[in-house]
Structure formats: structure tokens, C-alpha cells
Amino acid sequence: MNLRMKSIFYSFLFACFFGVKCVFAQQLSPMIGFDLSELTETRDGIKKGESLLIKSYNDLIKEADACLTLKPETVTDGMLPPSGDKHDFYAIGKYAWPNPKSADGMPYIRKDCSINLEANGPKFDLARYNNTVDRIKLLSLAWFYSQDERYAKKATQLLRVWFINEDTRMNPHFECASALPGVYKGMAIGIIFGVTLVEMTDCVKLLSLSESWTGKDDTALKQWFSDYVQWLRTSKFGIQEKKAQNNHGTWYSAQIAAYSLYTGELEYVKEMVEFGKQQIREQIALNGSLPHEMKRDWAFSYSVYGLRAFTVLAECGERIGEDLWNYKTPDGYNLQSAYLFLAPYLSGQKEWEWGSVRENEQTERIALPMMKRAAKKYDSTILMQAVRHLQTLYGKSLKYDWI
């Protein structure tokens, strides 16, 4: 059964049984990084005027309001990619720099953890892409919490322009991502740019409860992601990225699992969860550290980032009845140990000792919902200590609810 027929079949099935749009959307596309009951509880609290929520809600709405009049950005706005197809996403790597030993800066070189602002410049698509995805996420949440259809309408417009409309859509691959001018037209590591779309698809599931997002939109976007998954599974870059023994490899698995859950192609979810067991053995040490991330200058940030990929993969597995949370290799390697390793550094009990840079607020904010999810899964007081410490520091933020 192809993707379009699957969508029609499930739509008919749930319509027959439930007869309402909201139940259909929730059943067809399970959430990964959001807890719908918690989001609904938060929305109810906002309606009641709870003081702990109102400031964050007002900040969210203010940002969403600023998006309403912005012109949609497109993948076709920048310079022509090396492929010659203006619909291909084109970006140099964030750590790609002009060669200081040559007059024209060619060939570019790579400096790990040193960001070149040129990567976010107007020639390339990265900033337009990130702006668009961030606005879609923001507007979808603003719609869910406020039920103001203006936000859903704008989010729908942005989704159509970037992913659906023939004249402006991005091709579903990253062949020209993370380019190193003078060396590579694109690299497999550019697949990491797709990670932000995992959270976006969760937001689209919320958006599917609105009047603005149509069944036709939903089918078209799911086809885009189905095509992207096939590229990830079969392309030279995808096959290469799968072999990475750091966060790139885990996010490769997490992306396929998340997008396949979204499209209903559950066989690929199971395939990636099974592969995730091998990745636990390869990437998580017996003490719970992520050795490949600990070597980086931004070791703390990358340790959190790598563990988030495993978290997404475990959540995807749970949706199809596969338990990666409690999986343990015959020689004792497991996922729980990774959360326990990070916990004392997130609870303020220990000082981080690795890497040359210790990133604080942004990384800790991102870690909070992930650790909260893990604390519930493992019923762990150690993990809850980290959660309470981070909640005391940063309070409630409607923008940082996703794992």
C-alpha cells in the first residue's frame, strides 16, 4: 500500500470510528517529543491565568505576532547550488572557513566548534531554513495555546511554501548540505540539518487540529517526508551517515524513526529501533558517558545533543511497542546510564570537566524536558533532582517543552 493509499485508508478508518478531526490527527500521528495531555493542561492553566504560565505565554504570543506579517522565505532565494537545481538545499558547514593560506580562501577548511557566520549568510539556505522551521514551530504552539486561527494560517502558509508548492518547495534531501567549497559540493554530515524537522513534525500534528491545515496539505507533507526517508535509506550520504558512531549516526536513526512514525511506515521505525540497540553498544560507555562527544570542545552540549537523539529513538520505539528505554546489551550497556551520568552535572552537584567550553543556559534549558521524560520513565529520584534544579533555574518556558 503506497503512502497516499495509507493516508486515505487511515483517514477513512478513524473517521468511521471517531468522526472528529482531533481524534483522527492524534491517532494517526502519535506525538514524540510533546505530551499532549501536558500541553492541554498548560493551555487550561493559561486560560485560568496561572501566574507561572502567563509571562511565558505572553512572550510566545509576542514572538508569534511578529511572524504574522513576515514574507515567507524559500529555498530558491539563494545562490544556485552546485547541483544546478535551485530547489536543492545548499549550505556550507557551520564550521567551514576560508583557507587563510590562499588569496581566494580556497579550498575551505574545517574548524571544529568554530562557527563561521558566512554559513548563515544570504548566499546559503541555512538561515532561511532555520527561520522558516522555527517560525512554523512557534506559530503552531501559539495557535494551540491561544486557538487564534491567524497563527495556524501563517504556519500553514510557511509549510506550503517551503515543502509543498511546486515553484518554491525544497527537494527532500540534503545532497548539497555542509558543503566545503573547493573540496566537497556537499557531505553526509549535512544530514544533521534535518534534525530540527523532527520537532517541527510534532508541531504539525498539533496544527492538524486547526481549520487551516487541510487533509491535502497533510498528505503532501507526509509524501515529502516519505521521500526524504527513502533518500536517507538508499543514498550514498545516508548510508555513510548511518555508519557514524557519534550523534550523527544516532540522529540518522532518530530522523528515520520519527518521520516514518509520522507517515505511517512503521516497518522503518522498527528497523531503526533495532539498529539503536547496536548504537547503544557503540556510543554509550559503561559509566554512561558518550565518549565520542566527550572529545569535542563543546563536550557538554554535544553530550546532551547526542542523548536527545537516543531519547527521540526510544520514544519512537515506545509508540510501536518496542522498549529501548530498558534495553540492556548482554555485556551491560544501556540507555539509562547515560541520563544518570549527566544528572549530577545538570543538578549542580558536579562541575563539568571535559572540553574547553562549558555551555550553560541554552544547553540546560534544552536538557530539562529530556531529563523530565527520563525521570518519569525510570522513576528515578536522581534524575528528578536534576529536573527540580533546572526548573528552579529556568522556570516554565512554553518554547522549551519538547524533548
pLDDT per position in the chain (403 positions), as tens? Answer: 444 444 433 333 333 333 334 444 434 478 999 988 999 999 999 999 999 899 999 999 999 999 999 999 999 999 999 999 999 999 998 899 999 999 999 999 998 888 888 999 999 999 999 999 999 999 999 999 999 999 999 999 999 999 999 999 999 999 999 999 999 999 999 999 999 999 999 999 999 999 999 999 999 999 999 999 999 999 999 999 999 999 999 999 999 999 999 999 999 999 999 999 999 999 999 999 999 999 999 999 999 999 999 999 999 999 999 999 999 999 999 999 999 999 999 999 999 999 876 667 889 999 999 999 999 999 999 999 999 999 999 888 887 778 8
What pLDDT is attached to residue 359?
67
What pLDDT is attached to residue 335?
98
What pLDDT is attached to residue 403?
85
Beta bridge partners of 328: 334
pTM: 0.91
What pLDDT is attached to residue 60?
97
What pLDDT is attached to residue 23?
42
What pLDDT is attached to residue 245?
96
